[in-house]
Amino acid sequence: MNPAEEDLPELSPAERAAHAWQFDVAGFGELGQRRLKGASVLISRIGGLGGMVAFQLAAAGVGRLILAHGGNIRPDDLNRQLLMTHDRIGTSRMDSAIERLRALNPRLEIVAEPANVSDANADRLVAQADLVVDCAPLFAERFALNRAAVARRVPMVEAAVFDLEFHLTTFVPGQTGCLRCLYPEANPGWTRRFPVLGAVPGVVGSMAALEAIKMIAGFGETLRDELLVCDCRSFHVKKLRLHRIADCPECGAL
Ligand SMILES: [Zn+2]
């Protein structure tokens, strides 16, 4: 996950200027910035949740984002999908997202997959990434991404929103359990349409981006083996201990 210092890219004057204020973050520094620049992060869906992850990682200076999301912008996307704009309703979500991300950070390299993650593309996408962030609403997509991430031993930040509650954790194949350890079966209550106020995925999307930044830059404490659960109706936060399932069909053999 963390390449040797001599293998990391150097920073250009423009990158030093753009990210100067975060060099002073304790434990991050210039080395953390070079680690971000050298990293490739796959984000599964760039809607309300993943769009915020992508926006924050672009702002932070991650060098390469691999973005997977299909379909065209609909009016009912716009309460939460902040990379999409009203004037582009009916056009590609991916095209709008790329334009917004490049407007923020023109140095960002983007690999666009204008389709949602599935068993057909998951391995090809994960193979290009140092870290994946799962922001998909449907279990079929989540399980496909988890399967590929475990097989390739790529860490996965897992974020989910329902109503005013959000969940966040990080799986590290071979060290922690995986999504199937947490959810052995798909939850039939998770459908494409779910109750959501955009500020909730905005909050957990930023937290998932921060978790990704900590994983890549190698500082702070991450949510390995812990599930952070926040009820935004009350802002009550709790952390639940997670465990590996010995006979998990995905990660049991690692
Ligand atoms: Zn597992």
Q: How confident is the model at residue 31 (pLDDT cuts 50, 70, 90)?
A: very high
CA of 146 to the centre of ligand 1 (A): 9
pLDDT of residue 141: 95
Q: Does domain 26-241 have CATH number 3.40.50.1370?
A: no
- Between the CA of 107 and the centroid of ligand 1 the distance, in Å, is 36
Give the chain's mean pLDDT: 95
Ligand 1 centroid, distance to 91 Cα (angstroms): 38
Distance 150 CA to ligand 1 centre (A): 8
Extents of the domains making up the chain = 26-241
Tell me what pLDDT residue 111 has.
98
* Cα distance between residue 64 and residue 200, in whole Å: 26
Most confident of 4-13, 187-196, 221-230: 221-230
CA angle 67/198/190 to nearest 5° reads 70
CA 19 to ligand 1 center in whole angstroms = 37
How many whole angstroms from 178 Cα to the centroid of ligand 1? 4
Q: Report the alpha-carbon distance of residue 87 to residue 125 in Å, rounded.
A: 30
Its pTM stands at 0.96
Q: Between the CA of residue 148 and those of 51, 110, 153, 228, 252, what are the distances in Å?
A: 22, 21, 8, 24, 14
**How many Å apart are CA 222 and CA 176, to the nearest integer?**
12
Gap from CA of 147 to ligand 1 centroid (Å): 9
In this prediction, residues 197-202 reach a mean pLDDT of: 95
- What distance in angstroms lies between residue 249's CA and the mean position of ligand 1's atoms? 7
Q: How many Å lie between the centroid of ligand 1 and the Cα of residue 241?
A: 15
Taking the centre of ligand 1 as the mean of its atom positions, its distance from the CA of residue 61, in whole angstroms, is: 31
Residue 1 has pLDDT above 70, yes or no: no
Q: How far is the CA of 183 from the centre of ligand 1 (A)?
A: 9
User: 211 alpha carbon to ligand 1 midpoint, in Å?
Assistant: 20
Which pLDDT band, with edges at 50, 70 and 90, does 168 fall under? very high
Interval 124-132 mean pLDDT: 98
Centre of ligand 1 from the C-alpha of residue 246, in Å: 8
Look at 81-95, 118-132, 180-194, 238-252 and tell me which has the smallest mean pLDDT. Answer: 180-194
Q: Is the pLDDT of residue 94 over 90?
A: yes
Question: What would the mean pLDDT of 194-221 be, rounded to a whole number?
Answer: 96
Q: How far is the CA of 175 from the centre of ligand 1 (A)?
A: 10
Token pair recorded at residue 165: 């509650």
